[in-house]
Structure 1
Amino acid sequence: MESVGTGLARIDRNDRRADVYLARPEKRNAMSVELMRDLTAAFDRVDADEDVWAVTLLGEGPVLSAGMDLEMMRDRVEPDSDIDRDVFPSLLETIERTRQPVVAGIKRAAPAGAFELTLPCDFRVLGRDAKYGLLEVTLGTFPHGGGTQRLPRLVGLSKAKEIILTGEFVEPEEAKRMGLVHELCADDAVDERAKAFADRLCENAPLGLGNGKQALNAALETPLEQGLEFERALGRELDDTEDYREGFDARLADREPQFSRE
């Protein structure tokens, strides 16, 4: 594994998959400023690596993350601190912009800020016993790290209001029904299931994955006509690639394609 920055985030390369870990298990991966900056640097690094086709976001130890470091949040000097204005938003935007699809493995705990951390990911694997919810209204605030904006786009406005304004944990089966997570499994199997799903993505053409993700991310932000033109432009970028030809040649020959990101 490769440590990043102060060593509170790590990257483990496994062929075409990169596993990015929150690496503060002695604090249940609670997110300090240093951890968030290291995690941002880790995602910048895998985004720039053309040999990485899919990414997982995992927690070292028994949980994904206990959320924000509570002592850090209590003791910060200014309410409008760099945590709110810079560090946490930058991390979430970096995950969202990552070229490759990102699969979050949510085992045992991901409350509050850790819940928001999973929202920019493209897929979420959730443990059946995980404590997963936005609790900020029970702490005198509300989720303002992107939760009020990203969650309605995933589950609809009414359901997002229920999750955010009750401050209650989301039942895993309900999270699956509403489309918030795509797979449920035992908590001790979460990391391996997330890795397996990322490996499944790695079987596909990486240029198609990247451009397809860009087009999908634009869908809810762009008027239809503009979105369709953006989609066509991204498609045209791939028409003269080796992977495009390889995909059709392999299908016509009834064999598995050998994509190369060219």
Structure 2
Amino acid sequence: MKSIGTGRAAIDWHDRRADVYLSRPDKRNAMTVPLMNDLIAAFERVDANEDIRAVTLLGEGPVFSAGMDLTMMRDRVEPDSEIDRDVFPRLLETIEETRQPVVAGIKRAAPAGAFELTLPCDFRVIGREAKYGLLETTLGTFPHGGGTQRLPRLIGLSKAKELVLMGEFVDPEAAADMGLVHEVVDTDAVDERTKAFADRLCENAPLGLRNAKQALNAALEMPLEQGLDYERQLGYELDDTRDYREGFEARLENREPTFRGE
């Protein structure tokens, strides 16, 4: 596992998968400005690696993340605070714009800011005992790192209002029922199941994955006609690729395809 900077983020590189870690286990992976900057750098490195087809976002140690570092949050309300208030939105945008699919593994705890950290990921695997929710309205504020904007796009406005305004943890099984998470597993299996989920994505054509993610992310941002044009444009980009031909040839020959990202 290779550390990034000094903020305690790390990448574990595999053949076709990269595992990005919040790596402050002694602090329950609570997020600081240096850690968030290092996570941005980690995802930028992953995005630039043409060999990587899928990414996981995990917490080193027993917990995904306790959320924002409480000392940092206390200090940021001081009049002369120089804390970078834009770093968290930049981090979420970087995850969202990463070309490869991103799978978050939510282990034991992901409250408030840690909950918002999982929203720009493409998939979420959660442990049965996880404390997962937006608690900000119980702390004198509300989730404004993207929670009020990304969450309604995932589960609908009514359910999003319930989670945001009630300020309570959501039961993992209920989160699955509303489409917020994709799998609920035993707590001790979260990391391995998250990696297996990403490995399954790695079997598919990398160029197809990337263009499909790009089209899907645009779906709620464009009028239908514009979105359909954009989808076709992204599809046409793949018509002359080696992997497009390989996919159909493999199906006709009744064998597994060998994709190269070409």
TM superposition score category, shorter chain reference: over 0.9
Q: Distance in 1 between matches of 2:167 and 2:61?
A: 26
**Matching residue of 1:213:** 213
User: Which residue in 2 is equivalent to 1:90?
Assistant: 90
Hey, which bits of structure 1, 4+ residues long, moved more than 4 A? 78-82
Residue correspondence of structure 1 range 183-262 to structure 2 within 5 A: 183-262=183-262
Aligned to 1:33: 33
Deviation at 1:135, TM superposition (A): 0.2
Q: Find the counterpart in structure 1 of residue 53 from structure 2.
A: 53
Deviations 1:145-171 (A, max 9, x none): 000000000000010000000000001
Count of matched residue positions in the alignment of Structure 1 and Structure 2: 261
| Structure 1: gaps spanning 5 or more residues | none
Q: Report the equivalent of 1:122.
A: 122
Q: In 2, distance between residues paired with 1:241 and 1:139?
A: 52
Q: CA 1:170 to 1:211, structure 2 compared with 1: closer, same or farther past 3 Å?
A: same
Q: Which moved more, 1:125-134 or 1:7-16?
A: 7-16
- Aligned residue number for residue 166 of structure 1: 166
Query: How far has the Cα of 1:83 moved from its partner?
Result: 3.9
Query: Could you tell me which residue of structure 2 aligns to residue 67 of structure 1?
Result: 67
Q: Distance in 1 between matches of 2:160 and 2:79?
A: 29
Rounded Cα–Cα distance in structure 2 between residues aligned with 1:78 and 1:238: 53
2:140 corresponds to which residue? Answer: 140
1:225, CA displacement in angstroms?
0.4
Q: Which amino acid aligns with 1:33?
A: V
Identity of aligned residues (%): 78
- Work out whether residues 7 and 36 of structure 2, in 8 Å CA contact, stay in contact via their aligned partners in 1: no
- Name the TM-score, length of structure 2 as normaliser: 0.98
**Cα pair distance change 1:79/1:213, threshold 3 Å:** farther
More divergent stretch after superposition (70-79 vs 11-20): 70-79
Secondary structure of the 1:238 match is coil
Q: Do the aligned partners of 2:123 and 2:181 also contact (CA within 8 Å) in 1?
A: yes
Q: Shift in Å at residue 2 of structure 1? A: 1.2
User: Distance in 2 between the 1:7 and 1:100 partners?
Assistant: 24
- State the Cα RMSD in Å: 1.1
Letter of the structure 2 residue corresponding to residue 11 of structure 1? I
Distance in 1, matches of 2:138 and 2:81, equals 20
Measure the CA separation in 2 of the matches of 1:43 and 1:192. Answer: 20
**Are the equivalent residues in 1 in contact too, given 2:7–2:37 (CA < 8 A)?**
no
SS at match of 1:160: helix
Look up the SS of the partner of 1:20 in the other structure.
Answer: strand
Ranges in structure 2 where 5+ consecutive residues have no aligned partner: none
The whole-number CA distance in structure 1 between the counterparts of 2:188 and 2:217 is 31
2:254 partner amino acid: D
Give, as a single letter, the amino acid of the residue that structure 1 aligns with 2:25.
P
TM superposition shift of 1:81: 6.3
Q: Which residue of 2 aligns with 1:154?
A: 154
**What are the within-5 Å matches in structure 2 for residues 102-113 of structure 1?**
102-113=102-113
